[in-house]
Amino acid sequence: MNKLVNSALVAAALMTFPTTAFAETLDYDFTMEITSIYDSYGVFNGLSVGDSLNLSVLLDTAATGDGNATISIAEVSVTSTGSWQSSWSDVQYNSSGLTWDAYSGSVSGSMLVNGITIGHTVSYHQDLYLDFSSISSGDYQLTSALLDLRIENTGKAGLKAKYVAKPPTAVPELDAQSGPQAAALLAGAAFILLSRRRTLTPESV
């Protein structure tokens, strides 16, 4: 029984892209754990080391230029509010190691980060490293990931996070011999109850 549950949980975490598509694009959602935080702006108030970050990544090595990296973090909202903005991204895929290196960022006159305005030319950086492993079916499984997020101008804020694989939930194992034994016990109990009921029921005359 344990093996069946483990297999189901592993299958749920696998990439289902064929090799050719995986080498060009990656559209993936996963969770990371914060390992460190520094914050002179107060933009990460409410977040602590050990908290979870929910990421959605869309990486495309075939896009024009250096590729396209879109890294969205549910717990971090960033909007450019200045009169000008410049953004960049870079994606690299290593087929021998099944690793993705993704970089994205922007710089603008001011930004709104988690409801707090940061001005005077502020830059936002996201560096993400993903490691996958392949399995016999040809699918891919995320094995490790690192995130380095930075916000900089006259002050600094940032956090780092890593992917933590959740262990499969254990369920009680059923012994192959325990099934028939349990059935025999239930049958015996039912027989005793029925026999007792008959002895307590008055005979009709």
Domain ranges across the chain = 2-162
Q: What digits encode the pLDDT tens for the residues 88-107? A: 999 999 988 899 999 999 99
pTM of the model: 0.72
The pLDDT assigned to 63 comes to 80
Q: Give the pLDDT band of residue 199 (cuts 50, 70, 90).
A: very low
CB atoms within 10 A of CB 197: 9
Q: Is 50 left (phi over 0), alpha (psi -120 to 50) or beta?
A: left
Sequence-distant (6+) residues with CB within 8 A of 147 are 32, 53, 55, 126, 127, 128, 129, 159, 160, 161, 162
The pairs formed by 12-17 with CB atoms below 8 angstroms and a separation of 24 or more are: 13/141, 13/142, 13/165, 14/135, 14/137, 14/139, 14/140, 14/141, 15/132, 15/139, 15/140, 15/141, 15/142, 16/139, 17/139, 17/140
Average pLDDT over residues 8-19: 47
For residue 138, which of 18, 14, 20, 22 has the smallest C-alpha distance? 18
User: Cβ contacts of residue 198 below 8 Å, gap of 6+?
Assistant: none
| Percent of the chain predicted with pLDDT > 70 | 70
Residue 200 has a pLDDT of 41
pLDDT of residue 12: 45
Q: What pLDDT sits at residue 94?
A: 92
The pLDDT tens digits for 120-154 are 899 999 999 999 998 888 788 999 999 999 999 98
Mean pLDDT, the chain, whole residue set: 81
**DSSP-derived 3-state class of residue 195:** helix
Residue 111 has pLDDT above 70, yes or no: yes
